[in-house]
Every structure is written in structure tokens, then in C-alpha cells.
Amino acid sequence: MKVTVKFWSYFRDFTECNETSLEVDDGATLGDLHSAVMEQFPKLAEMNNSTLKAVGVDYQTDDFVLSDGDEISLFPPVQGG
Amino acid sequence: MKVTVKFWSYFRDFTECNETSLEVDDGATLGDLHSAVMEQFPKLAEMNNSTLKAVGVDYQTDDFVLSDGDEISLFPPVQGG
Amino acid sequence: MKTQLTLSPEPITEVPPAISDGMGAVVVFHGVVRGTEDGESIAAIHYEANEAMARHQFELIFTAIENQWPVESIRLVHRVGEVAVNEASLRVEVIAPHRAEAFAACQFLIDEMKAKVPIWKRAVR
Amino acid sequence: MKTQLTLSPEPITEVPPAISDGMGAVVVFHGVVRGTEDGESIAAIHYEANEAMARHQFELIFTAIENQWPVESIRLVHRVGEVAVNEASLRVEVIAPHRAEAFAACQFLIDEMKAKVPIWKRAVR
């Protein structure tokens, strides 16, 4: 199945990419997807522990099971205010 | 020596008086003065424990030694805001 | 630390904060007269102040704040006389470099005022 | 509880609080862009928002507040795009019956925002 990944803030500088599409296996989790993305964009791996992950408009943990067409956001710690 | 006592808020309703003058002994304390005032205005005695006492613009405790001409304020708990 | 203290019967008008360089946080509190007092409907609250002492006690609180937090400015307006329901009786504005100290100083100021500043209220029915 | 959420590049203008009966406390916080970032002089901060998610996360925080405190209304404006030094990037207004809950809700809202709402900044030199 296919999901979309969006990068935000300086993650875009690391990936030189706003948004990408990935094929993942059925039953793949958000954690699996994050690992695949870090393989594709090694600079993101440095931020592994501080990366925030959302599916749609909600935060999700690594064990969240993805569905076809999901839109994933990966981004660094937020800084509003 | 002579001191002035001012009443504030509903203490004025109790005393039916804005301000009074009292003769006190040399060396009299704020506590002595308060006792004398409560004798003169018995309704104030009901508020004994919640009465706030100032000399001039500063709060003082009962052991504060008065001077001739001091202006004492007696009032109930404050309610600003 | 700049301070401005106003005790006045005039309605409180909103004034934009005067931000200077390096200041990141402005906290403004309005205390507003509510329509009931001890469960009964009221029309207004009449505030009485022992004004000289109130000014002095506010200054003591300002000094205590200056000694505790890096606050840039405090402006405080407390109305005296009659204040109608739904009107503000109090406005406090605290400006500081960061929000933690602005909130802490503003709440400390109001708590101390409610314990020490000789202002009293009387419901007007 | 009434809420109003604005994410906009427009400068934040002061609006008088809309007090309704029974409300005794208004807390307003302004977050202001400071002239230095990590010790270096800056001209502005550029704010980027993941807007759909930011709106949703703010709504979740508003709901958490409604479940904890008797708050009457929250109005929040966060600017996006470039905000010059000494201008406000954030305005939060909380109206509640009493000051304790107004202060608590306002501080909770800002703390939660800083942990969860996808907005990022970039210094403009």
C-alpha cells in the first residue's frame, strides 16, 4: 500500500524534500515507516529520538498500524508562541 | 500623649465614627490602644481577631510602641480586586 | 523596573502595552465585577480605599516583585467608588523577558494585594 | 465554552474582552518576538504552521481545558509568516468566573501549545 510522508520545518532542509510517497507492506506500523524514511534520508536518523510523528492531524506512536493513503507528518520539536 | 484613630469600611458602621482622638500613656503599645478603642466601641471587640492595624501607612503588630501624634488605622480584612 | 499606579474612579480603558527590546511576555489581568454577591443580585460594587496607605502597600509589593523576578514594567489601575456589574475594577499589566516570571509576578501581585492593600468593597443593590 | 482560533499573518490588534454576566476574571497573554535568539541579534521570526494539524491540536487543548476548569471563553491568535522584533506573535485571552481558573487555564494552554501544536520558528537576521 502507498502512504504520503510530509516533512516540516528544518526536516525539509535535511531531506531537501517537502513530501514523498512510499510503498509499505500491509500491516506496516508508523515505526516501520519511520525506519524506511530514515534509510532513504540518513540525515533524519540523527533526529530519531526527537522526531514527532503524526498520521493525519493526530500524533501516533510507533505501534500505530498504517492504512493505504495515510498522510504521515514527520517534524522536529514544536516551537509555537 | 495623644493619637488619632481612623476607622475604615464597616468598622465605621460599628463605631458610627470616622476618626477619634485618644489620650494614651507614654510607652503605650498598639495593642494597648486597640484595647482602649474596643472598650470605647464594644462592637469592635467582636472583630478583635480579624482587625488589621496600621500606624501611618505601615502595618504594625500589637507590641509596636506608639508616639505622640501617631495616626492609627483600624480596619477589617481588605477586599481589593 | 518601571511602575505606574492609578487609583481612580474613571473606567479602565485598554491601552496597548509599551514593549521594549528584549521583552518577550506581557500578562494582563482584568478583575471584573460579577452580577451576584453571596448569591444575591447586585448592580455595582463600591470600592473604598485608604489611599495613602494603599499606594504605599502597592509600592512595597512592587519592590518585592523587583527583588524576585526580572520584571521590566508593571502598570496597575484599581478603581475606587462605584463600579457597575461587568465593568473592570482592576487591571494589572506585567511585562517581562519570559512568560514564567510574568505570570508568577502578576499572580503574586494580585495575591499580595488581596492580603495587604487597604481597599474594601460594598455591594450596591 | 466559546472559542475563537486565528492563525494569520496579520498583526495582532488589541480587542476589548467581551465580558458576559458572572465572569470575574480576564487573563490576556501576549508573546512578543525578542531581539535576540541564542545571543545573536535578529530582525524577525518566521513562523511556519502545519495548519490543519495545528487547528486540531488547539481544539484538543481547548477541550482538555473545558473538562478541567469552568472557563467561559478562549480566544487565541497565533501569527504565521514573518513577525518583526517587538511585535506579538501570540495572543491568548481566557475569561472565567474567577482568577485562579483563568490563570491556570491560560498557562496550561500555552504549555500544551509549546509541546503539541505544530508551529515552528526560524530566525530572520
Q: List per-residue pLDDT tens for chain A, 81 residues long.
A: 999 999 999 999 999 999 999 999 999 999 999 999 999 999 999 999 999 999 999 999 999 999 999 999 999 999 999
A54 contacts in chain D (CB < 8 Å): 53, 118
Please choose, from the candidates C99, C18, C16, C97, the residue with its C-alpha nearest in 3D space to the C-alpha of residue D35: C97
What does pTM read for this prediction? 0.94
Residue B68 lies in a domain: yes
Tens-digit pLDDT profile for residues B35-62: 999 999 999 999 999 999 999 999 999 9
Check contact A-D (3+ Cβ pairs < 8 Å).
yes
Tens-digit pLDDT profile for residues C36-65: 888 899 999 999 999 999 999 999 999 999
Helices D99-116 and C99-116: angle between axes, nearest 10 degrees: 170
Tens-digit pLDDT profile for residues D55-90: 999 999 999 999 999 999 999 999 999 999 999 999
Residue B6 lies in a domain: yes
C:9-68 residues touching chain D, CB 8 A cutoff: 14, 16-17, 19-36
Residue A42 lies in a domain: yes
- CB of B76 within 8 Å of a chain C CB? The answer is yes
Residue A48 lies in a domain: yes
Q: Residue D22: its pLDDT value, please? A: 83
Query: B30 is in which domain, residue-wise?
Result: 2-75
- CB of D115 within 8 Å of a chain A CB? The answer is yes
Residue B81 lies in a domain: no
Distance from CA of D32 to the nearest CA of C (A): 4
Non-local CB neighbours of C118 within 8 Å, separated by 6+ positions:
B8, B52, B54, B73, B75, B78, C49, C50, C53, C54, C57
B24 pLDDT band, cuts 50/70/90, is very high
Q: C-alpha cell of C36?
A: 451576584
Considering its fold, how many domains does chain B have in total?
Answer: 1
Residue A60 lies in a domain: yes
Is the pLDDT assigned to residue C92 strictly greater than 90? Answer: yes
Chains that touch A (3 or more CB pairs under 8 A): D
Distance from CA of D118 to the nearest CA of A (A): 5
Provide the 3-class DSSP secondary structure of residue D9.
Answer: coil
ipTM confidence score: 0.93
Residue B9 lies in a domain: yes
Q: Contact D34/C27, CB-based, under 8 Å?
A: no
- The mean-pLDDT minimum among A19-28, C18-27, D74-83, D95-104 falls in C18-27
Please report, for the domain that includes residue B63, its CATH number. 3.10.20.30
C52 contacts in chain B (CB < 8 Å): 57
Residue A81 lies in a domain: no
- CB of D119 within 8 Å of a chain A CB? The answer is yes
Tens-digit pLDDT profile for residues D19-42: 778 889 999 999 999 998 888 999
Q: What angle do CA D6, D12, D14 make, to 5 degrees?
A: 110
